[in-house]
Structures are given as structure tokens and as C-alpha cells.
């Protein structure tokens, strides 16, 4: 049996092939799954997809018509999956419910420190042998307040690092995490967290209830000198509203590893093309904004865990087993 894997990065390919060795042939493609590439899957019972795959109803219908019966997504989020359509078409869909939370939490901190201490600006200057310090002044984070929206595994890992920095911890979630409470975190309403935090980080899933969790009102509730970090899902922030606040000269720094319209852009080389997305084009021009292309998860440790979990999902499907990773069970 040949398994077809879409959206496999060059660094990821050896890990995928190593994990699946002895469990059937896996063919890795760099192209991402969408309506145009879905016909490639014809004749493949099992396919694997990346985080930015289009798994809406039209794509799922093409896959089902071509003989696909199982989709193994190599990501935790599944807001890109039309679960109802998959169930209607008899497609089994599984995801990776857990991988290293440290990969994302540590990268969120990398963004926070980079914008706070003007690291990108400093690096660009020294490449031109400009060694002035003007405009590079940052702030100590020790003694300041970190607001963590979403205190699951990743939020907890972020909070542990913040605790190590000696920061006051505020949290917001539907349920309190005992480990965060032990760190001294105070759970408060969202408005209070936004108003009192020097550093705000997002670690909640994207659902209808959380879409634009940080909207125009939330942005206005934040301190003018706050740092905002999003390494979760782009749709958590109303980007147009964020651009408006940045144009008004607000915020010490914004670090974004995700963008709400990133599909068709992130993971691809667009350097020789005109970017039609005016919001993104404007966003990257602000000197206090750092945008990266959804790489927070991208460590060898995390990718190995993701690939291993994907293999288990495929083996479970073949054996007729069901795990916590299954979104739509085998019919």
C-alpha cells in the first residue's frame, strides 16, 4: 500500500520516510492539498496532510471519489476540516492531538524577546556595519506582567518560562490549570488581563467562539506599550484592526507566527511575486512587528512526535482501532 503525504517540507521528509519504513511505501509531495491538487490522490486509500491543507467539502468529495478512505492530518488544529462532510462521505479523519508544547512555547518567547530587544533591527544594522544603539532600547521583563490566554500544555510551558523570568502571571481560560496555579498565576477576566499585562500571548484553539478573540475592543483595552504574541492560530486576531492600532503608534512589539489569511502564502516562496494581500503587506512594514511563517512547532523533537503519531493513526485505521486522535471514525 502506498500512502501519499501532501505538504512535506524538505527537513521533514527524512523523518517521515524513516518513521514509515517497514509499514508500506510513503510518497512525499511538497505541494499542499487543495482543490487543484486533490486529484493527485486518486487511487490512494490513505493520505496525510499538513496544517494548511484545504479539507473543505469540495476537496473531500474529490478525495472520496478517487478512492481515499483515510486522511491523517499532521497537526493538532483541525479548523480546516469539514468534519460533517467527511462523515457524510465515509472518510476517516485523524489528527495529532499532542506534540512537544515546548516547541511552540519557546518560539513564542523567541518572538517576545526579539521584539522587546529589537533584535531584528539590530541585526540588520550590524550587517551594514552600523553599530549605533539609537532606537534599540528594550525593557526588562523581570517584574512585569505576562498575560496567558489559554493555559493548556503550551500555555503552561510559556508560563513556566515567564515564572523563570520573575514575571507576575495572569491567566484566562475556561478551566484553571493546577500547574499554573502552583506557579502563582491569577486567573482573571479577559478584560482585566488585557489591561494589566505587559506581555500577552495567545494559546487557545481556533473555534467559532474564539475567532477574533483579540478584536478591535480587545486591542484598545491593551496598554499602549504592550507586547502581543500569537503562535497559535491567525484567526484569533482581527488583523485589520491590529493594523489600525499599529498605525496609531501603539504597542512596543507584535510577534506573529500565524496569520488569518496565511493559506496559499505560508510555507511557499512568494519572493518573486506581488503580494495581493494588502493587510499582510502593510503589517510587515511596521518596525515593531515581526512575522514568521508558522514555524513555532518546527523542531526536530516536535516533528518526530507528529510523524510518529501520524504513523500510529494510520496503523490504528488499518487495524480498525480508534484513539483520541480520531475526529471522524471509520465507518
The answer to whether the Cα torsion of 259, 263, 266, 267 is positive or negative is: positive
- Taking each helix axis from N to C end, the angle separating 119-127 and 101-116, rounded to the nearest 10 degrees, works out to 60
What pLDDT does residue 135 have? 94
What pLDDT does residue 6 have? 97
Alpha carbon distance 83, 98 (integer Å) = 19
What pLDDT does residue 107 have? 98
Q: Catalytic residue among 196, 233, 245, 260, which?
A: 233
Alpha carbon distance 159, 149 (integer Å) = 11
Partners of residue 81 on adjacent β-strands: 55
Q: Catalytic residue among 44, 74, 250, 294, which?
A: 294
Which tens digit of pLDDT belongs to each residue from 257-312? 999 999 888 988 899 998 899 999 999 999 999 999 999 999 999 999 999 999 99
Compute the mean pLDDT over every residue in the chain, rounded to the nearest whole number.
Answer: 95
Percentage of residues of the chain with pLDDT beyond 70:
100
Query: How many C-alpha atoms does 29 have within 13 Å on its Cβ side?
Result: 18
Asked if 81 and 327 count as a contact pair (C-beta separation under 8 A), the reply is yes
Which tens digit of pLDDT belongs to each residue from 37-53? 999 999 999 999 998 89
pTM over cut 0.85: yes
Q: How confident is the model at residue 160 (pLDDT cuts 50, 70, 90)?
A: very high
Alpha carbon distance 283, 279 (integer Å) = 6
Active site residue 233: yes
Q: What is the CA radius of gyration of the chain?
A: 21
Find the mean pLDDT for residues 140-144. Answer: 98
Of 279, 278, 189, nearest in space to 234 by CA: 279
Q: How confident is the model at residue 194 (pLDDT cuts 50, 70, 90)?
A: very high
Pairing of strands 186-187, 168-172: parallel
What pLDDT does residue 66 have? 97
Pairing of strands 326-328, 92-94: antiparallel
What pLDDT does residue 77 have? 83
Q: Give the highest mean pLDDT range of 50-59, 141-150, 256-265.
A: 141-150
Find the mean pLDDT for residues 186-211. Answer: 97
CA distances in angstroms from 20 to 23, 52, 101, 113, 301, listed in the order given = 5, 22, 24, 38, 17
Is the pLDDT at 193 greater than 80, yes or no? Answer: yes
Least confident of 151-165, 229-243, 253-267: 253-267
269 CB burial (10 A radius; 0-12, 13-18, 19+): exposed
Is the pLDDT at 192 greater than 80, yes or no? Answer: yes
Is the pLDDT at 178 greater than 80, yes or no? Answer: yes
What pLDDT does residue 102 have? 98
Q: Catalytic residue among 12, 156, 196, 262, which?
A: 262
Find the mean pLDDT for residues 51-78. Answer: 94
Asked if 111 and 255 count as a contact pair (C-beta separation under 8 A), the reply is yes
Which tens digit of pLDDT belongs to each residue from 101-136? 999 999 999 999 999 999 999 999 999 999 999 999
Burial pattern 58-88, b for ≥16 Cβ within 10 A else e, equals ebbbbbbebebbbbbbbbbbbebbbeebbbe
Amino acid at each position: 500500500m502506498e500512502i501519499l503525504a501532501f505538504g512535506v517540507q524538505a527537513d521533514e521528509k527524512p523523518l517521515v520516510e524513516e518513521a514509515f519504513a517497514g509499514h508500506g511505501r510513503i510518497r512525499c509531495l511538497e505541494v499542499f492539498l487543495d482543490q487543484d491538487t486533490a486529484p493527485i490522490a486518486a487511487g490512494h486509500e490513505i493520505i496525510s496532510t499538513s496544517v494548511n491543507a484545504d479539507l473543505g467539502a469540495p476537496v473531500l468529495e474529490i478525495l472520496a471519489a478517487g478512492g481515499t478512505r483515510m486522511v491523517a492530518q499532521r497537526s493538532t488544529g483541525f479548523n480546516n476540516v469539514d468534519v460533517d462532510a467527511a462523515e457524510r462521505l465515509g472518510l476517516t479523519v485523524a489528527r495529532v492531538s499532542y506534540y512537544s508544547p515546548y516547541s511552540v512555547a519557546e518560539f513564542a518567547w523567541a518572538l517576545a524577546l526579539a521584539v522587546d530587544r529589537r533584535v531584528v533591527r539590530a541585526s540588520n544594522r550590524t550587517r551594514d556595519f552600523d553599530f549605533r544603539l539609537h532606537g534599540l532600547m528594550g525593557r526588562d521583563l523581570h517584574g512585569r506582567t505576562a498575560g496567558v490566554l489559554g493555559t493548556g500544555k503550551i500555555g503552561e510551558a510559556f508560563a513556566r518560562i515567564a515564572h523563570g523570568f520573575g514575571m507576575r502571571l495572569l491567566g484566562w481560560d475556561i478551566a484553571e490549570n493546577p500547574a499554573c496555579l502552583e506557579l502563582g498565576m491569577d486567573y482573571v477576566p479577559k478584560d482585566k488581563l488585557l489591561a494589566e499585562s505587559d506581555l500577552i500571548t495567545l494559546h487557545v484553539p481556533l473555534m467559532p467562539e474564539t475567532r477574533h478573540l483579540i478584536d478591535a475592543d480587545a486591542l484598545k483595552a491593551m496598554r499602549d506599550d504592550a507586547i502581543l504574541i500569537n503562535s497559535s492560530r491567525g484567526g484569533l486576531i482581527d488583523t485589520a484592526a491590529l493594523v489600525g492600532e499599529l498605525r496609531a503608534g501603539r504597542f512596543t512589539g507584535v510577534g506573529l507566527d500565524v496569520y488569518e489569511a496565511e493559506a496559499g502564502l505560508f510555507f511557499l516562496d512568494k519572493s518573486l511575486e506581488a503580494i495581493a494581500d494588502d493587510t499582510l503587506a502593510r503589517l510587515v512594514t511596521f518596525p515593531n512587528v515581526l512575522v514568521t511563517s508558522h514555524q513555532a512547532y518546527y523542531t526536530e523533537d516536535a516533528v518526530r512526535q507528529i510523524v510518529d503519531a501520524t504513523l500510529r493513526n494510520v496503523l490504528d485505521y488499518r487495524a480498525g482501532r480508534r484513539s483520541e486522535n480520531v475526529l471522524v471514525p471509520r465507518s
